[in-house]
A and B are shown apart, each in its own frame.
Chain A
Amino acid sequence: MISRSMSKRETSSEIDEAAASWAMRIDEADLDAGAQADFDAWLDRDVRCMGAFARAQAVLVHVKRAKALGSDFEPDAFVQATQEVAEDEAPAPVFLTRRRLLIGASAIAATGVVAIVMPARQATARIYETGLGESRLVPLEDGSTVTLNTNSRIAVTIEPDRRAVQLERGEALFKVAGAGRAPFMVEAGEASLRADEATFSVCRLGQRPLQVTVCEGSVAIAHGAAPARVLQANRQATLPAKGALIERGVTAEMLERDLAWQEGMLSFEDTPLAQAAQEFARYSDRHIRIADPAVASETVTGLYAANNPEGFARAVALGLNLHVQSTPGGILLAR
């Protein structure tokens, strides 16, 4: 039997509100000692508080995917642009339309963003790009999507008889929809990829060889003069500038790890510190330097926020017993 009296029992929605408030506070900055004590006391009050807080954090992580909409995101324009594919949704309530007129302009003024205008048809390629540390989901007119990782740029041409994307630099995850349409072509340097309905990522970084990873479906890869090779799901191809394509299998866990950037995270498993530091350098101009080779070859495991090299350095320092030093050019890790 529960001894709590009904009159004192907080309602679940009161708890949800308090949980939302703590989640927003903690998301912004660490709590000071006083606030931490309040938070702990609140958590201990009722087991539901702990659950509501965990759920509030999960919802916050979920809505943070809005970041994929890009910094020029304007909610109304996006709602409009994606409306036709969201067939399962109930029709937009009328108030939304009115609200669009009433507050669209003020929201734009307030956030300093520019509305996305989606012309029905365009003869030339459209350019999408992300800056350092940004990621962005680009819905294409044909129902496919491209998610751009940090510092990436694509040119997209979607026409009834042609679907082509040029990956000029960086990394992109393609989810190609609509079998029976024109083949979906991706050009990346010397390589030309072709898919019908597939999910695959392509990584084109300055010095490294091009890498193609297929999650679902299959992708035909033409590279230089060699005949095209078909890469199946759970396979990864590395295309050196000179020499033949190298293929290997990837497990579901490896795929998930490789694509953690979609959530703004970097995931490592027994990754040498030097390599992890190189990954972080793609996301920020605060580079992590490692004092000596012995430290550089230590390995790290875990999930880290891609845009927070300091946080990563501090966590690693704690685990490997290193010192973190903030320098003008970045962060130094040393014994």
Chain B
Amino acid sequence: MSGRGNFSTGRALWLSRHILPHEPALRAQLSRWRVPDGLDADDVIQETYAKLSMLDDVEGITSPKAYFFQVARSVILMHVRRSRVVSIQAVEQIDQLGVASDDPGPDEQVSDRQQLHQLATMIAGLPTSSRAAMTLRLVNELSHREIGERLGMTANAVQKCLAKSLSTFMRQLGRGGSIGSEASRICAARDDQPLDVETRDQL
């Protein structure tokens, strides 16, 4: 794959408003059937965002959720094609991925107040120093150096600590945002649908 993604503020805003809220639904869908071995849901999600970041223009996308699912589907299909054995069943199941309406599911329809509650809960759940650093960065918009001066840390330590908090948020939001959802991390449903898409990358 060539080309660089669009990392502008506008694209990040679009992804956060129109794609991120649908991620838990896509992950739920992904967990219902097996993706090719050697590839997990997180890989599919990352490759899907890569494709979305490489789009020239997102203005024309009228149904971002359906589009998000469709791109994820193309990512999986590409990997399935690369794997040696492709069962009819696998392809059929992947076809179902294309069916996604843009109606927000009950879990995606959150009010501003609930969304802020969720954010505050996520921030409140961070360890003490990370939480102070994150609040100073997000709410007070201080630089890493200024945060370090307040908290008695080096700018470098602040940067590491902020990065760690952000990756915690990335994990939580992908899975629906609530702290308790960590438990559902790995697709529990994986074993109920034995598939024979399996040989890949093993040699």
Interface-lining segment among B88-96, B139-147, B190-198: B139-147
CB distance B159 to A54 under 8 Å? no
Nearest A-chain residue to B203, judged by Cβ: A1
Knowing A55-B15, A59-B166 are in contact, say whether A82-B113 is a contact too (CB < 8 A): yes
B86: Cβ under 8 A from any A Cβ: no
User: Which residues on A sit within 8 Å (CB–CB) of B17?
Assistant: 263
Any chain A CB within 8 A of the CB of B45?
Answer: yes
- A68 located at the interface, meaning its Cβ lies under 8 Å from any Cβ of chain B in the complex: yes
Interface stretch among A139-147, A162-170, A224-232? A139-147
Q: How far does the Cβ of A41 sit from chain B's closest Cβ, in whole Å?
A: 12
Q: Are B45 and A55 in contact (CB under 8 A)?
A: yes
A66-B165 Cα distance, complex, nearest whole Å: 14
Q: Which of A12-20, A188-196, A272-280, A288-296 contacts B (4 or more CB under 8 A)?
A: A12-20
Q: Which residue of A lies closest to B144 (CB)?
A: A28
B170 in the interface (beta carbon within 8 A): yes
Which of B9, B42, B50 sits near A305, CB closer than 8 Å? B9
- Count contacts on B: residues with CB < 8 A to the other chain: 77
Least Cβ distance of B141 to chain A in Å? 8
- Over the window 27-58 of chain A, the binary record of Cβ atoms lying under 8 Å from chain B Cβ atoms (1 yes, 0 no) is 01100000000000001000111111111111
A246 interface hit (Cβ, 8 Å)? no
- What is the bound-complex CA distance between A197 and B178, given in angstroms? 28
As a 0/1 sequence over residues 78 to 114 of chain A, the CB contacts with chain B under 8 angstroms (1 = contact) are: 1100110110111011001001100100110011110
Task: Evaluate whether A16 and B42 lie within 8 angstroms (CB atoms) in the complex, with A62-B173, A90-B178 already known.
Answer: yes
Known: A50-B5, A63-B122, A66-B139. A89 touches B117 (CB 8 A): yes
- List the B side residues contacting A15 at CB < 8 Å: 46
Q: Given A75-B123, A111-B136, answer yes or no on A50-B50 (Cβ-Cβ < 8 Å).
A: yes
CB distance from B109 to the nearest CB of A (A): 9
Q: B53 at interface (Cβ–Cβ under 8 A)?
A: yes
Assess the B180–A50 pair: CB atoms within 8 A.
Answer: no
Residues of B within 8 A of A100 (CB): 124
Q: How far is the CB of A269 from chain B (nearest CB, A)?
A: 11
Q: What A residues does B122 contact at CB under 8 A?
A: 63
Shortest CB distance A66–B (Å): 5
Q: Which of B49, B144, B150 has the most CB of A within 10 A?
A: B49
What residues of chain A lie closer than 8 Å to B16, measured between beta carbons? Answer: 58-59, 61-62
Main secondary structure of the interface of B (DSSP, over half): helix
Report if A89-B124 is in contact (Cβ < 8 Å); known contacts: A16-B170, A147-B112, A303-B10: no
CA of A88 to CA of B40, assembled, Å: 29
In the assembled complex, the CB of A298 is this many whole angstroms from the nearest CB of chain B, namely: 21
CB-based contact B169/A69 at 8 Å: no
Query: B66-80, CB under 8 A of A: which get 1 and which 0?
Result: 000000000000000
Range, interface on chain A: 35 or more
Q: Which residues of chain B come closer than 8 Å to A115, judged between CB atoms?
A: none
Q: Are A28 and B139 CB-contacts (below 8 A) given A12-B42, A21-B163, A86-B114?
A: no
| Chain A residues whose CB sits within 8 angstroms of the CB of B53 once the complex forms | 50-51, 53-54
Query: Which residues of B in the span 167-182 have a Cβ within 8 Å of any Cβ on A?
Result: 167, 169-171, 173, 178-180
By a CB distance below 8 angstroms, the chain B residues around A67 are 138-139, 141
Say whether A24 contacts B159, CB under 8 Å. yes
Given A66-B139, A145-B111, residue A54 in contact with residue B121 (CB < 8 A)? no
Most central of A51, A86, A93 by chain B CB within 10 Å: A51
Q: Is A65 an interface residue (CB 8 A)?
A: yes
Cα A112 to Cα B120 with chains together (Å): 17
List B contacts of A323 (CB < 8 A). none
Of the candidates B38, B52, B115, B117, which one forms a contact with A54 in the assembled complex, judged by CB atoms under 8 Å apart? Answer: B52
Please give me the residue from chain A that is nearest to B129 by CB atom.
A110
| Nearest neighbor of A102 in chain B, beta-carbon distance | B128
Give me the interface of B with A, judged by CB distance under 8 Å: 1, 4-5, 7, 9-13, 15-17, 19-20, 38, 40, 42-43, 45-54, 82, 107, 111-125, 128-129, 131-132, 135-141, 143-144, 150-151, 159-160, 162-164, 166-167, 169-171, 173, 178-180, 200-202
Could you list 18 further interchain pairs (A-B, Cβ under 8 angstroms) beyond the known A53-B5, A56-B166, A90-B178? A4-B201, A12-B40, A16-B171, A25-B159, A51-B52, A55-B45, A57-B11, A59-B170, A63-B122, A63-B169, A66-B123, A67-B141, A76-B124, A79-B121, A85-B111, A107-B131, A107-B135, A111-B136
Selected A-B contacts with CB under 8 Å, 23 pairs: A6-B38, A17-B163, A43-B5, A50-B50, A51-B5, A51-B47, A51-B53, A57-B12, A57-B15, A58-B20, A59-B169, A62-B16, A63-B122, A66-B135, A69-B116, A78-B117, A79-B117, A86-B114, A96-B125, A106-B132, A137-B113, A145-B111, A303-B9
Top 8 nearest A-B pairs (CB, nearest first) are A51-B50, A12-B42, A54-B53, A51-B49, A58-B15, A21-B163, A75-B124, A20-B167
